Amino acid sequence: MDTLTALDVMRDAPVIPVIVLHDAAHAVPLARALVAGGIRMLEITLRTPQGLPAIAAIAREVPEAVAGAGTVRTAAEARAVADAGARFAVSPGYTPALGAACREAGLPLLPGVATGGEIMMAAEDGHAALKFFPAMQAGGAAMLKAWGGPFGDIVFCPTGGISAQNAADFLALPNVACVGGSWLTPGDAVAQGNWARIEGLARAAAALPRA
């Protein structure tokens, strides 16, 4: 998987877990539990200071996982996560400067979009696999269905408000390759080291049907 693309990341499994870690020591056992459940594309967010060391630990110690970085907003962050061993980046929005930095770092980018204009800007820079964020607040499955007409060549990973209860509604859409969600890694399960529970959640997510 040396030539990983954003589409490869999105098509690997029905769900990309959005992971917020408060203790980098949890990163390796968490990654192993997710991989055991059939989920190997992992978005570790930069929302806490533990994000970068967590990415580095997974990249170093769990080779069967593909560590990615979420909440990447700047060119400096793109370079930092690449140096830490991230294999892909996910952003809450998009700027051409961020896109250029990810290309220079060799990082496939899933840019966040919430409007037609943002889709067009990202597409102009060569991005056809996009994160729809925040999905529920920005129009949900109905918005994605509407975008299927004018943006028929774009595929999406909706993230934001996606849960085990509504994931299937999104995955049934032909322009949705996967969804992103935090329900695979509940905070209490991570804090307690309940890796068996997380493996079970991953296994259920990996079995979700797609269009």
Is the pLDDT confidence value at 1 over 90?
no
Query: What secondary structure, in 3-state letters, does 100-136 show?
Result: HHHHHHCCCEECEECCHHHHHHHHHCCCCEEEECCCC
Please say whether the beta carbons of 210 and 155 come within 8 A: no
Give me the mean pLDDT over the 145-170 stretch: 98
Is the pLDDT confidence value at 123 over 90?
yes
Give the integer Cα–Cα distance in Å for 171 and 4: 22
Query: Catalytic one among 61, 118, 131, 199?
Result: 131
Looking at residue 3, its pLDDT comes to 82
| Pick from 173, 100, 180, 175: nearest CA to 135 | 180
From the options 3.40.50.2300, 3.30.930.10, 3.20.20.70, 3.30.1490.190, give the CATH code of 6-206: 3.20.20.70
Which residue is it, tokens 């918005």? 143
Residue 163's pLDDT band (cuts 50, 70, 90): very high
Looking at residue 8, its pLDDT comes to 97
Query: Catalytic one among 43, 61, 104, 124?
Result: 43
Is residue 61 annotated as a catalytic residue, yes or no? no
Give me the mean pLDDT over the 125-154 stretch: 98
Is residue 43 annotated as a catalytic residue, yes or no? yes
| Confidence (pTM) | 0.97
Is the pLDDT confidence value at 2 over 90?
no
Interval 54-69: pLDDT, tens = 999 999 999 999 999 9
Please state the domain extents for the chain.
6-206
